[in-house]
Amino acid sequence: MTEKERILQLRELLHRYNRAYYVDSTSLISDFEFDALMHELEALEAAHPEMADPNSPTQRVGSDLNTNEFQTVVHAVPMLSLGNTYSPEEVTAFCGRVEEGLGRKDVDICCELKFDGLSISLVYEHGNLVRAVTRGDGTQGDDVTNNVRVIKSVPLAIPADAGCPEHFEIRGEVLMPWSSFHALNEEREIAGEPPFANPRNAASGTLKSKSSAVVERRKLDAYFYQLICDEIDVATHHEQLLLAKKWGFKVSEHIEVVHSAEEVQEYITRWDTARRDLPVATDGVVLKVDNLAFRQALGMTSKSPRWAIAYKYKADRARTLLRAVTYQVGRTGVVTPVANMDPVLLAGTIVKRASLHNEDMIEKLDLHIGDFVFVEKAGEIIPQIVGVDLEHRAAAPEEIGEKVRFATVCPVCHTPLTRYEGEAGTYCPAEYGCAPQMKGKIEHFVSRDAMGINSIGPKTIDVLYDSGRIRDIADLFDLRISDLCGADGSRERSAMNMLRGIEESKQKPFHKVVFALGIRFVGKVAAKTLAEHFKSMDALCKAGEEELQAIPGIGPVIGKSVVNYFRDEHNRKLVERLTAAGLQMQQEEKGAESGAPQVLAGLRIVISGTFEKHSREEYKALIERCGGKNQSSISSQTSFILAGEGMGPSKRVKAEKLGIEILSEADFLERYGL
């Protein structure tokens, strides 16, 4: 076999293994074997640049270069919207119209879950992905091919023996799974950025990112639901989807073909509850006539097909009185308006407050104090005001107070607020003179994922800051027992715990120190990347924007923020004080080089519950040092679960279903000699 033939063989093999892992949730080879094949392909492609192919498995890596200038592309077949309804009666009426239009009763309906993401259309030629375009206005959309290439569940190339036509188009939905959504929002909150309201907004913002590396890191997924091709000789939509699945596309397992309006209603009712256990967000059900010839006979209206309809589940909504709007200041200075309302029951919880996000939302809603407002749980998680009861405002104008206008000065330090160009947020610029910002920086510094000083919580920080005993993070290392145990010495034991935690934090690795500084936009992943690249705080302080932007996973936004942070004299002195206090300002060599036994090499481990001997974060670090990989959720690829007290019952059930071993803390340490 020639080297060029080997390149083609390796590409086909790796595409097959990727599909098995990301679409079928099965593993055909070990990680070690997969990596070895990938390295072999990379070497061969480097030796044969004439064989370059954007759909090669080696190219499925995002770039931080801002090369994505989205071009507008006209859809060959318009992406029409479906008629929507929230009424079960209208669903029954739809089934009746279909039967009447066809003059027959035996009409099968294909029921599909309506995924709450971003519609996408992919074009394939000779088995290779050539274009990915967003829905746009239905007639034309944005070319997002570079970003879609890094979504692991999207096939880049279809095996030659799969039997797919030379040219076809397939449509689906790009989604952000709940696990990725929660992890992303946690990162954004830590970095001082506003969280996304729901997975759909997060997926939409991610797919339109200028950096495909951002898309890759956020772990989007994609499900497909429509095949467009004249060359396929099948009679039904369901058969088309089975073909798409055979070719390697991710198709929902929960599609059902039913035979009556009663069975349609049963499907809708069943999934209104069951959908809440799915790994991705859904907001309804799509109903389609299954027979393709019947669809042709039914035809289209000017806006939508007569053979399909979308039933949307009603969001939990409540009506309540807006009493006041207050403002919160975060550690990065962002000022967030908060609606304070009469308590109301919403989706099983009492809601009294809802974020109004920013100035633009207040203007859009045209809020007045005394308005009755409608509240929903966005993405069934976050309470959000979605509208005003204008009928009540018109009927009782005497009950309506003044129009809500965004604050012009900081509610705490009274510094005039500012809004930076291109950002939705409004900020208090008094970074070192605004108490909530300083307290927030200290809270971040001592948090579990940073320096892990668990004995110091928000209330303690409030007391220490308000009494003047600390003013910044470096002051923590100047604290004495007399500062902490109270005038009568009654809190000596807790004071000793705090001092012990402060002292132990000096041994936290360098990447945690970088994260703990609270540099804007630098989350846990970016901090680790910076630490591993520069190896020392001194080198990081001296780095220029160009060098920072060239690091995979950093890019211009983070790069500029890092430079601005160390350009500030206050921050430079802070780092000097932390260095003098004895914090780790250099990266330790890890893995085999530091002598750690690689007893967990190739293993994927999920940690659940709480432990006696070490914290969860310490176990995660131990697993990485010993060659293992931490997984946030259970899959068929999980090697075992390290289970402590309070392991979630849903995880236990899933582990038993997949036959995954559950190890106690003691069993884990004994088995691997740790």
Residues marked active site are found at 114
Tokens of 378: 């966005």
Letter string b/e over residues 408-432, b meaning 16 or more CB atoms within 10 A of that residue's CB: eebebeebebeeeeeeebbbbebbe
DSSP string, 191-246: TTPPPPSSHHHHHHHHHT-S-HHHHHHTT-EEEEEEEE-TT---SBHHHHHHHHHH
Q: What number of other Cβ atoms are within 10 A of residue 186's Cβ?
A: 14
Tokens of 55: 């759909």
Cα torsion 10, 11, 13, 14: sign: positive
Closest by CA to 393, choosing from 493, 318, 319, 494, is 319
- Taking the C-alpha atoms of residue 79 and residue 206, their distance in angstroms, rounded to an integer, is 21
CB 222 within 8 A of CB 250: yes
Which residues are registered as beta bridge partners of 354? 339
Tokens of 370: 């005394």
DSSP string, 397-438: GGG--PBP---SB-TTT-PBPB--TT-S-EE---TTT-HHHH
- Taking the C-alpha atoms of residue 435 and residue 333, their distance in angstroms, rounded to an integer, is 10
- Taking the C-alpha atoms of residue 638 and residue 630, their distance in angstroms, rounded to an integer, is 9
Long-range contacts at 49-55 (CB < 8 A, ≥ 24 apart): 51/4, 51/7, 53/11, 53/128, 54/149, 55/128, 55/129, 55/149, 55/156, 55/157
- Taking the C-alpha atoms of residue 556 and residue 548, their distance in angstroms, rounded to an integer, is 8
Tokens of 308: 């399909």
Nearest-Å Rg of the Cα atoms of the chain is 28
CB 438 within 8 A of CB 472: yes
CB 158 within 8 A of CB 247: yes
In 569-650, beta strands by DSSP E: 604-608, 629-631, 640-643
Cα torsion 429, 433, 437, 438: sign: positive
Tell me the backbone φ, ψ of residue 628, rounded to 5 degrees: -85, 175
Tokens of 358: 């920013």
Cβ neighbours of residue 576 closer than 8 Å, sequence gap 6 or more: none
Cβ neighbours of residue 23 closer than 8 Å, sequence gap 6 or more: 153, 248, 249, 250
